[in-house]
């Protein structure tokens, strides 16, 4: 186990699965104490009705050599978030890393359907889950983060600022949600920077989350079988890759140079030298622009 983050305390909000789980595991592996939150527990599933739980994430953190505390939390409920932060303050006295990875919208957006045809209730629910939850969590957690200098707030989104500026994300509500989170990091950079902390937006690439693997009908050990249907999936990455990006940022004494910026797992791998679990360094957002969106045949040579 690395000791780079020994003595640090992290909150990964939305750590049940996907990027949040990968981030929690890597922060724990680097020595941090990690609070993992979400709505899916072994006693009760969320509306996702999926098998992953926050207790499972905590077990993975422990197996990686870290210490994890699973706290069931609905981040749309301010009282629950306030109680969570009060608990961290009582038990640890400080918070060094806040990761806002709350999402919950996979079943709510409708690709290629204009806003006037999109189910309005689902669209507004998506925005609440993807945007309001981050605001609620930041409101309650950032005062604790600011108790000590050098804190880091990470807003997890989909797409870099450059990519999302120039690309319609195939749904009014999805596009609005993901670009809003990018703007949150920019705004937090202005509010946290002068107070001794750093805020960044961070996107993974094409993430091989549990849900994505299920959609392709593959597992992590045979994910390449999906390439026969979607060859560009060859650029995909594990959730641990973006986790290593967060761990590297948290351990960087000069992380403030990134304050307010939009970052990606692939871009940070070039800065810090970490790799995905297979030893590669996929750079998905450069690949999407230069290969996939350019209509070229799938070829990850030079991109991972």
Query: Which regions of the chain are under pLDDT 50?
Result: none
Instruction: Indicate which CATH number applies to the domain containing 102.
Output: 3.40.50.720
With beta carbons less than 8 A apart as the criterion, state whether 19 and 101 touch: yes
Q: Which domain holds residue 207?
A: 9-292
For residue 31, being part of any structural domain is answered with yes
Q: What is the pLDDT of residue 106?
A: 87
Q: What is the pLDDT of residue 46?
A: 84
- Which tens digit of pLDDT belongs to each residue from 141-159? 999 999 999 999 999 999 9
For residue 246, being part of any structural domain is answered with yes
For residue 251, being part of any structural domain is answered with yes
Q: What is the pLDDT of residue 3?
A: 80
Q: How many domains does the chain have?
A: 1
Q: What is the pLDDT of residue 1?
A: 53
Q: What is the pLDDT of residue 49?
A: 84
Q: What is the pLDDT of residue 230?
A: 97
């Amino acid at each position: 186990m690395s000791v780079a983050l020994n003595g640090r305390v992290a909150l990964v909000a939305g750590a049940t699965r996907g990027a949040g789980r990968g981030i929690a595991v890597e922060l724990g592996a680097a020595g941090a104490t990690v609070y993992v939150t979400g709505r899916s527990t072994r006693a009760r599933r969320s509306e996702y009705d999926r098998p992953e739980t926050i207790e499972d994430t905590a077990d993975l953190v422990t197996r990686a050599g870290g210490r994890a505390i699973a706290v069931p939390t609905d981040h749309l409920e301010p009282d629950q978030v306030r109680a969570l932060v009060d608990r961290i303050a009582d038990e640890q006295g400080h918070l060094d890393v806040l990761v806002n990875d709350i999402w919950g919208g996979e079943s709510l957006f409708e690709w290629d359907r204009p806003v006037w045809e999109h189910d309005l209730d689902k669209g507004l629910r998506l925005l609440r889950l993807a945007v309001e939850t981050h605001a609620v969590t930041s409101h309650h957690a950032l005062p604790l983060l600011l108790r000590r200098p050098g804190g880091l707030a990470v807003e997890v989104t989909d797409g870099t600022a450059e990519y999302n500026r120039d690309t319609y994300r195939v749904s009014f509500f999805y596009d609005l949600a993901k670009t809003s989170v990018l703007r949150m990091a920019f705004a937090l950079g202005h509010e946290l920077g002068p107070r001794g902390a750093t805020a960044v937006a961070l996107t993974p690439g094409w993430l091989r989350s549990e849900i994505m693997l299920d959609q392709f009908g593959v597992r992590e050990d045979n994910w390449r079988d999906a390439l026969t249907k979607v060859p560009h999936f060859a650029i995909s990455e594990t959730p641990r890759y973006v986790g290593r990006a967060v761990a590297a940022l948290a351990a960087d004494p000069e992380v403030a140079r990134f304050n307010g910026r939009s970052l990606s797992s692939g871009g940070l791998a070039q800065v810090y030298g970490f790799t995905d679990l297979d030893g590669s360094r996929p750079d998905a957002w450069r690949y999407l622009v230069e290969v996939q969106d350019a209509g070229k045949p799938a070829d990850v040579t030079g991109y991972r």
